[in-house]
Chain A
Amino acid sequence: DAGVIQSPRHEVTEMGQEVTLRCKPISGHNSLFWYRQTMMRGLELLIYFNNNVPIDDSGMPEDRFSAKMPNASFSTLKIQPSEPRDSAVYFCASTVVQRGHNEQFFGPGTRLTVL
């Protein structure tokens, strides 16, 4: 299995531009998570999906952020318009949710720089 796949690996954009990050979870996993990691705030959960349905988006910073999961093998995280404070590494993770478990498999991340 290829693991969780994220693209692009690096993104540099200018303030005000739209940014779209992509994630392909591991086949057969039914839950998908988007995280943001910075030195200051660590690894923050933004949103997670179960069976393609958003369950909790309370971590999404503001309306500029949106996420979709149109099918079991693809998810996007969009930032529009982007701001310099959005610069971070964005991780996607997937898992098979089981009672009392929930080991997450992380992708390699997308390093976003907003100038």
Chain B
Amino acid sequence: SQKIEQNSEALNIQEGKTATLTCNYTNYSPAYLQWYRQDPGRGPVFLLLIRENEKEKRKERLKVTFDTTLKQSLFHITASQPADSATYLCALGTGGFKTIFGAGTRLFVKA
């Protein structure tokens, strides 16, 4: 069956460290993968997109990798700050219009 898995347990890290979140998928062949941020009581906000033929994408303190052989994406936040505390969702673009979301990983950055 098709599955998208993100760390169900919350990730707690110290301010200034690099946070690394994982997104694994099975039985999908995504054309692209997206990462979104969601704060409590709000809708998800788009952060980054990486296509199937790209290995890595960066935006300011964010970095995403995409390994279609391992069927995995890693999302890194360098020099993390308490303001980065949120839930991060990965989403697979399966072609056409459809995007399938993972359950998300909660990140807590302690000052």
Contacts and interface: CB of A to CB of B under 8 A. Distances in A.
Contacts of B44: 43, 91, 104, 106
Interface of B: 31-32, 34, 41-46, 49, 51, 89, 93, 96-104
A44 B100 CA distance: 8
**Which of A35, A48, A100, A105 counts the most B-chain CB atoms under 10 A from its CB?**
A100
A97 B89 contact: no
Contacts of B101: 35, 42-45
Contacts of B43: 4, 91, 93, 106-109
Question: Top 3 A-B pairs ranked by shortest CB distance?
Answer: A106-B43, A42-B103, A43-B101
Interface string A72-115: 00000000000000000001010001001111111111000000
A48 B99 CA distance: 10
Interface of A: 4, 31, 33, 35, 42-45, 48, 50, 55-56, 91, 93, 97, 100-109
Contacts of B32: 100-102
Contacts of A102: 32, 34, 93, 97, 99
B99 A45 contact: yes
B97 to A, nearest CB: 6
Nearest to A108: B43
Contacts of B99: 33, 45, 102, 104
